[in-house]
Amino acid sequence: MTGGRRVWVAGVVAALLTTSGCSAAVSRTIDGLALDTLTQGLDDALAGLEVRSSAQVEALVRDARTVVVDPERTDSGVGQVEYATYGEREGGRAADAAIPVVVWHRTVGGGPFVDDGGVWHVVCARLSVDRSRTAFAAEPVGCPDDVTLEPVQPAGDDPAPHLDLDPPDAGELVTGSPPRRGSSSVALRPMSRGRADPCAADDLDLALGPPQRLTGYDAVPLLVVNTGPLACRLAAATGLVLVRDGEDVPVRTTPWRGEVVLAPRESASALVTWRPVQGIDGAAAQRLSVLGSAGPDLLPVRLASSAGTGVPTVGPGAEVTFSRWERRGYGAGGGEDPVRPDVAPRCRPEELAVTSEHPDAGSGRPLPPSVRVHLTAVTPCLLVPGVSALPDGVPDAVEGPPVLLAPGEAVDVITVTAGPDRPGEVLVADRWVAVENAPRAW
């Protein structure tokens, strides 16, 4: 749901609350908005997730609370949202069963029957993953009798609670067929990056690629993209902070020196390695942050790995080594086995780079107009061709089936008219940039 549609629906809900009372239809609309808020938050927080089991997904859903829940949200219609999982825990629920959740949401300023402090409402649902949309889905169900009317709000960064309540009938954890996939793409490296100041934390997005096994070591690529409007100098990573189940895991880090300059939307990667450690629960909810690359700021690393949690399962006291940053150009591939997630957000036009040149049809039938679209983000996303799917500067895409793009992948997209003839260039960050060894779009 777009921000504009959410505001429109919230306004309608507020009007209905004021003029007609809280009818069953209005209540269902508000509940639907609350469930949308939860699922959209989980889509963003868990982008890159590969579903392994109900227990694995439940642990990640609970740990995502600090990202999903916004205590300051009080807009009319549906405001602050809290949630908890409930029902049977590990061993009591099938590995492929949907996850029962309780969602509390608070209306504020909804009419004469709503006080200044707001009123909490509650809705229950079965949480699943729709692979065809690469997104979470929530099917409303009846709540158990013992559900409280106000949420149990955890303190600080604690995960969402699990409530010992009777579960609903089991649903399926995964539904739908996966979308078609993108194809490997040569990195497009800009010819010139210009002058550069140090990178700011707000202009960097970090994620992990698929885990690798080296001789005597475990490894995972660390991917970073410059999301800012200007080129910037990316300093070496000097350390990491690993949190498991709310507790810091002390590790020793060995950094490499050196920095790289990244153009807007250009990526770099470094390899994080450690010796295998036995006895670490890879399904435990974990978070990872990196030190040093943007001065004193702590840089959070997003989930983007085919491992259960996307975070190295190193033990306390382990020694972790960072390699030097390597420039990857527009689109940082995560390795030979790209992430194929079950959850991925829609691709935003600013995350896409486009190559466009007129093909030589030869003696055959003319080819339909098209451009080649490359993903510059460090987490996968779902490209849904159509109006407004591509950056400004190229024609609109013809509506077509969704395509799941992993970092470093590309896809040919049919357009309503031929794109501009720009051999050797790529449209990225609202400008055409000369690149090294730009591949042909067809």
- pLDDT tens figures, 157-185: 789 999 999 999 989 999 999 999 999 88
**pLDDT score for 308:** 43
Check whether 1 has a pLDDT greater than 50. no
DSSP letter string, 214-260:
ETTEEEEEEEEEE-SSS-EEEPPP-EEEEEETTEEE--EEEPPP--E
Q: What is the distance between the alpha carbons of residues 63 and 81, in angstroms, rounded to a whole number? A: 15
CB 200 within 8 A of CB 163: no
Average pLDDT for 400-409: 92
**pLDDT score for 353:** 96
CB 307 within 8 A of CB 148: no
DSSP letter string, 123-149:
EEEEEEEETTTTEEEEEEEPPPTT--S
Q: What is the pTM of this model?
A: 0.78
Higher pLDDT, 108 or 2: 108
Check whether 434 has a pLDDT greater than 60. yes
Q: Which of 178, 220, 190 is nearest to 382 (CA)?
A: 178
- pLDDT tens figures, 100-136: 999 999 876 554 444 456 788 999 999 999 999 999 9
**pLDDT score for 365:** 73
Q: Which amino acid is at 36?
A: D
**pLDDT score for 262:** 95
Other CB atoms within a 10 A radius of the CB of residue 21 amount to 10
**pLDDT score for 282:** 54
Average pLDDT for 246-251: 78
User: Which range, of 29-43, 61-75, 304-318, 352-366, averages the lowest pLDDT?
Assistant: 304-318
Mean pLDDT, the chain, integer: 82
What are the phi and psi torsion angles at 44 (to 5°)?
-70, -45
CB 28 within 8 A of CB 253: no
Q: Which amino acid is at 128?
A: S
- Element holding 175 (H helix, E strand): strand 174-175
Check whether 18 has a pLDDT greater than 90. no
